[in-house]
Amino acid sequence: MSNPEGNTENRAILVTGGRQLSGEVAASGAKNSALPLICASVLADGPVTLTNVPRLDDVLSICELLESLGAKCAFDGGSLTIDPTSITRQDAPYELVRRMRASFLVLGPLLAKFGHAEVPLPGGCNIGPRPVDEHLRALGEMGAEIEFKKGVVYAGAKKLRGEQVYFNITSVGATENVVMAAMGAEGVTVLENCAEEPEVADLVNFLRSLGADIKTPGSKRLEVRGGLALKQREPYSIIPDRIEAGTFLLAVAATGGGGTVKRCEPAHLTALTEKLREMGVGLRAEGNDITLAPNGRLKATKVRTQPYPGFPTDLQPQITTVLTMAQGVSVVTESVFEQRFSYLPELKRMGANIIQQDNAAIVDGTGVRLTGAPVDGYDLRGVAAMTIAGLMAQGETLIRGFGHLVRGYEDFIAKMEGLGADIRLVDKDYELKNNHG
Ligand code: EPU
């Protein structure tokens, strides 16, 4: 399986700003659902087919990981069939886990299915240290023996026990890993203070579609009965990517344009759509579409990232970028990942007026006009944000970090072009034309 975008290392994104985006764009399937669902397929007693699967580097990497364990993965358009019955190994290769933290999500299903898993610790990444202590503590409480040797987690359990587990931190990954592990436990596992992101709900629904018994009796609580045989009866369709949809909504709003994001789930985007309204954007949600009306100069606002249903950290760089040209002073507080402001110095180089104080960015957009520059994006959402900055800026902006973008946005350049953006891929050493001429 190869990356549909080809070589990403030597290429950069060139955006010429000043055009108002308009028209329609359709959201792809959610990356952050696809990854845990592909891992969960390990639990099934036969092949599993997922539809609405985005063709992304991260999705290809997780398939590569399952293949390295012996599974078979086959794409047919947007549908992916995984046959886990040929898995013979339970040791995830470091090269793949290093490439993508979500690889750690194979731990729970391997442990549940085979009673044993070896997965390297994923370590930090460009948005923060991101420990996995909560995943491991919960598995330990369920009877897993956890050992660390040379950076690898060895987890073993003859039989996991259903227990009452309270998460100290609301973690998407820990909730997902432990729900999958609980499939192999004796009795009922009760999980409290779970993450409630739509992608967690999608995993629960997928497991139920395979025959799992998972109850969601109250807020942030899951009750999982272990030991049932899991088998697929019909293909399962992954939910739309709310972060991709939100990125396009912000891109359209940033240019003052009007347009529709189709095939999204408006209920998953309320935190963003409320903010857009506060910023002065006219907006209508109907069925699976969200339509923005063209807007004038936007207004400043306050944003605080929080676990769902709060404002998503994965849209923080994009909305902060839009606020660099909004009238007044905005305060954006990042409370999920401490290092998610790596893009701020790049925005400042384009003329943004931002001061960072601890985990808050204070953005004064009064009278600001961004100017194109060569900039670096250090992570997936950072590159998306810099692209939005390029759309808002006068002249050309060259964004390096295309390799990050293809991990999480399907057909991003083509979708932006479809909305009327002046955007293309160029050599990473491209010299910008005079932006002030
Ligand atoms: N945390 C701990 N200990 C743990 C687990 C998490 O301290 O054992 C902390 C993290 O360091 C972080 C917070 O808890 O400060 C929340 O992290 P969480 O575990 O919820 O994040 P994740 O599961 O590693 C997923 C998404 C991220 C998204 C976050 C938050 C996937 C594959 N990744 O990560 O997506 O930002 O939830 O919503 O689902 C992205 O798509 O760009 C991305 C980074």
376-386 pLDDT, tens digit each: 999 999 999 99
Q: Where among 175, 203, 237 does a domain terminate?
A: 237
Residues 310, 419: one domain? yes
Same domain (yes/no): 259, 338: yes
Question: Once rounded to an integer, what is the mean pLDDT over residues 416-428?
Answer: 97
- The ligand 1 atom at the shortest distance from the C-alpha of residue 313 is 36
Q: Is the CB of 384 under 6 A from ligand 1?
A: no
- The residue whose C-alpha atom lies closest to atom 11 belonging to ligand 1 is 130
pLDDT tens digits, 230-285: 999 999 999 999 999 999 999 999 999 999 999 999 999 999 999 999 999 999 99
Q: Note whether residue 432 is domain-resident.
A: no
Residue 83: per-residue pLDDT: 98
Number of the ligand 1 atom closest to the C-alpha atom of 199: 39
| Mean pLDDT of all residues in 205-221 | 95
Q: For residues 116-134, b (16+ Cβ closer than 10 Å) or e, as one string?
A: bbbbbbbeeeebeebebeb
What gap in Å lies between CA 79 and CA 118, rounded to an integer? Answer: 29
Does any domain span residue 4? no
Q: What spacing in Å lies between the alpha carbon of 169 and ligand 1's midpoint?
A: 10
Together in a domain, 191 and 269 = no
Specify the pLDDT at position 334: 97
Whether residue 130 has its Cβ less than 6 Å from ligand 1 = yes
Give me the mean pLDDT over the 72-97 stretch. Answer: 96
Instruction: Judge contact between 390 and 413, C-beta under 8 A.
Output: no
2 assigned to some structural domain: no
User: What is the whole-number distance in angstroms between the Cα of residue 347 and the centre of ligand 1?
Assistant: 24
Same domain, residue pair 171 and 318: no
Pocket lining: 21 vs ligand 1, CB cutoff 6 Å: no
List, for residues 324-358, the tens digit of each pLDDT value.
999 999 999 999 998 899 999 999 999 999 999 99
Q: Hey, is 321 helix, strand or coil?
A: helix
**Class of residue 68 by CB neighbours under 10 A (exposed 0-12, middle 13-18, buried 19+):** middle
Quote the number of domains for the chain: 2
Last residue of a domain, one of 190, 208, 237: 237
Atom of ligand 1 nearest to the CA of 173: 23
Pair 359, 421 in one domain:
yes
Q: What mean pLDDT is predicted for residues 193-218?
A: 97
Contacts with 300 (C-beta within 8 Å, 6 or more apart), sequence order: 279, 323, 326, 327, 328, 329, 330, 363, 364, 365
Q: 54 and 127 share a domain?
A: yes
CATH number of residue 258's parent domain:
3.65.10.10
Do both 410 and 267 map to the same domain? Answer: yes
Closest CA to ligand 1's atom 14: 171
Bridging pattern class, strands 329-333 and 302-304: parallel
437 inside domain: no
Q: Which of 105, 82, 30 lies closest to 312, judged by CA?
A: 30
Question: What's the 72 CA to ligand 1 centre distance in angstroms?
Answer: 28
Mean per-residue pLDDT for 154-179? 96
369 and 347 fall within a common domain: yes
403 lines ligand 1 (CB under 6 A): no
- The response to whether residue 381 sits with its C-beta less than 6 Å from ligand 1 reads yes
Ligand 1 in reach of 172 Cβ (< 6 A): yes
Q: What is the pLDDT of residue 437?
A: 44
Evaluate: CB of 337 within 6 angstroms of ligand 1. Answer: yes
Q: Decide: 135 in ligand 1 pocket, CB within 6 A.
A: yes
The tens digit of pLDDT for each residue in 386-397 reads 999 999 999 999
Percent above pLDDT 90 for the chain:
91
Same domain, 272 and 123: no
Catalytic residue from among 63, 125, 194, 264: 125
pLDDT of residue 205 exceeding 60, the answer is: yes
Are residues 82 and 40 both part of a single domain? yes
Is it the case that residue 15 has pLDDT exceeding 50?
Answer: yes
Ligand 1 pocket check for 171: Cβ under 6 Å:
yes
Question: Is residue 64 one of the residues assigned to a domain?
Answer: yes
Say how many Å lie between the CA of residue 334 and the centre of ligand 1: 13
Residue 357 placed within a domain? yes
pTM here is 0.97
122 Cβ below 6 A of ligand 1: no
Ligand 1 centroid to residue 137 C-alpha, Å: 16
CA distances from 213 to 54, 56, 102, 203, 239 (A): 28, 31, 25, 13, 21
- The total number of residues written for the chain in this structure: 437
Matching residue, tokens 């290392």:
9
Q: Give mean pLDDT, residues 214-219.
A: 91
Check pocket membership of 76 for ligand 1, CB cut-off 6 A: no
Give the strand pairing for 289-292 and 283-286.
Answer: antiparallel
- The pLDDT score that the predictor gives to residue 123 is 66
Task: Among 56, 57, 61, 130, say which to mutate for ligand 1: greatest number of ligand atoms within 8 Å of CB.
Answer: 130
The answer to whether residues 174 and 302 belong to one domain is no
Range of the domain at 307: 11-28+240-427
Q: What is the mean pLDDT of the chain?
A: 95
Q: Is the C-beta atom of 169 inside 6 A of ligand 1? A: yes
Examine residue 294 and state whether it is found in any structural domain, yes or no.
yes
| Spacing, Cα 240 to ligand 1 middle (Å) | 19
Q: Per-residue pLDDT for 129 more than 90?
A: no
Of 220, 237, 254, which one is at a domain's C-terminal end?
A: 237
Distance between Cα 183 and ligand 1 center (Å): 22
CA distance 409 to 419: 15
Q: What number does the ligand 1 atom closest to the CA of 134 have? A: 8
pLDDT of residue 122: 83
Give 135 Cα–ligand 1 centroid separation in angstroms.
11
Q: Please, which residues bridge with residue 356 across strands?
A: 361
Ligand 1 atom closest to the CA of 132, numbered from 1: 8
CB 60 within 8 A of CB 3: yes
**In a domain? residue 436:** no
In the predicted structure, residue 124 carries a pLDDT above the cut 70: no
| Residues 256, 129 share a domain | no
Q: Is the confidence at residue 435, as pLDDT, over 70?
A: no
pLDDT in tens, 19-29: 999 999 999 99
Least confident of 9-13, 17-21, 180-184, 414-418: 9-13
Active site residue 125: yes
